[in-house]
């Protein structure tokens, strides 16, 4: 039997296979609202056989958006369209997840296809960003405002309120975005966190915001639902966040009730050389899984069915997250099942196209 197509039951939620659609920003919203693009985009992965489909980063506040066109979950009016999307995903036998995010100092940007540069705070579609410290991402960007205690409390409250909305919208998995140089990651990293209070300095202090956000989220998130955290398992530079830090964090998160660590890397320090080879981040998912005994997800240049199957078979990760390959082929899971000799349920509308064994 294909390991990739073995079901995985976590608590009372069963994923029909180990294939996860990784969060991928679409930069196609107005004021945070999902629309028909998101319905078709995410719905195609559901008809394509993926076990878990996670939305793009959904900003927990307007100032938490990467761009003015990001998906959001910062107002109750966002719920209606998201509920339509989760209903469709569930009708195809998949599980719907939402990534909750705050971009911090990497907010207030143009859409990538028009250059992606930061928009000055005094320009249309721009705003003042916030972070752990007043350290800009690059020398050409505005310095963010270092969050004070009131600002930190607002961030925590925003994540909590977004979680309540995610429940109403029908999501059964939420993933807290603690990677890629966004706000939580900015607190974790000694490169972006220069604070001298209880949120800065030591490892214990730098992880404090993430732990407090988890505490707030768990007050409202149903115990039977799943809580993931995405981390950048290494910053790829000396003196930065390390794989050993990730293991130490994962052990704490497991004790706090986190169900899975989604192991990505980088994103908080510009111009870092990263060895972009197939599956280049799998080793971190394997290390965190082995040394902290928590479920992990592997992501990053995973493009082939046998490659994905081997990751699960060799116990390097429990779930395989795919992004660009899903854009190329939203029906990757159906193709992978055929190539691996596994059974996969096709939508009845598509059964005439099934490959013969």
**Contact residues for 311 (Cβ-Cβ < 8 A; gap 6+):** 279, 282, 285, 298, 302, 317, 320
User: Is 285 strand, coil or helix?
Assistant: helix
Please calculate the CA angle 314-249-308 and round it to the nearest 5 degrees.
25
- Would residue 182 show up in a list of annotated catalytic residues for this protein? yes
Please calculate the CA angle 208-212-215 and round it to the nearest 5 degrees.
145
Largest CA distance in the chain: 64
DSSP output for 297-355: EEESS---HHHHHHHHHTTS-SEEEESHHHHH-TTHHHHHHHHHT---PPPGGGGGGPP
Options 27, 182, 199, 280, the catalytic residue: 182
Q: Are 21 and 94 in contact (CB under 8 A)?
A: no
Look at the block and give the residue holding tokens 């007050």: 219
DSSP output for 91-150: HTT-EEEEEEE--GGG-SB--GGGT-PBPPTTSTT----EESSS--SSTTSPPPEEP-HH
> Is the CA virtual torsion 110, 115, 119, 125 positive or negative?
negative
Nearest one of 165, 162, 189 to 176, comparing CA atoms: 162
Q: Quickly count: other Cβ atoms within 10 Å of residue 219's Cβ.
A: 10
Which residues are known catalytic residues? 182
């Amino acid at each position: 039997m294909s390991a990739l197509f073995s079901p995985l039951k976590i608590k009372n939620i069963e994923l029909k296979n180990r294939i996860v659609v990784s969060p991928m920003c679409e930069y196609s919203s107005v004021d945070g609202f999902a629309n028909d693009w998101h319905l078709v985009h995410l719905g195609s992965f559901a008809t394509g056989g993926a076990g878990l489909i996670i939305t793009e980063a959904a900003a927990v506040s307007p100032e938490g958006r990467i761009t003015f066109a990001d998906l959001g979950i910062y107002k109750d009016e966002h719920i209606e369209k998201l509920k339509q999307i989760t209903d469709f995903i569930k009708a195809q036998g998949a599980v719907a997840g939402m990534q909750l995010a705050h971009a911090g100092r990497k907010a207030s940007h143009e859409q990538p296809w028009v250059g992606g540069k930061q928009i000055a705070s005094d320009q249309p579609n721009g705003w003042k960003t916030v972070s752990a410290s007043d350290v800009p991402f690059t020398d050409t960007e505005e310095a963010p405002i270092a969050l004070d205690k009131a600002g930190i409390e607002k961030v925590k409250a925003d994540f909590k309120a977004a979680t309540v909305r995610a429940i109403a919208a029908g999501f059964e998995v939420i993933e807290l975005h603690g990677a890629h140089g966004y706000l939580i990651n900015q607190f974790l990293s000694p490169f972006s966190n220069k604070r001298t209070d209880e949120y800065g300095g030591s490892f214990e202090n730098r992880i404090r915001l993430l732990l407090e956000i988890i505490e707030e989220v768990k007050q409202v998130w149903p115990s039977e639902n799943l809580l993931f955290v995405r981390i950048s398992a290494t910053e790829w530079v000396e003196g930065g966040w390390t794989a050993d830090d990730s293991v130490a964090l994962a052990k704490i998160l497991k004790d706090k009730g986190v169900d899975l660590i989604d192991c990505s890397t980088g994103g908080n320090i510009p111009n870092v050389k990263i060895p972009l080879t197939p599956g280049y981040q799998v080793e971190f998912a394997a290390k965190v899984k082995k040394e902290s005994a928590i479920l992990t997800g592997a992501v990053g240049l995973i493009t082939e069915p046998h490659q994905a199957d081997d990751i699960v078979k060799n116990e390097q990760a429990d779930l395989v997250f795919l992004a660009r390959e899903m854009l190329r082929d939203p029906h990757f899971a159906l193709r992978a099942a055929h190539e691996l000799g596994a059974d996969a349920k096709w939508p009845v509308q598509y059964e005439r196209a099934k490959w013969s064994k």
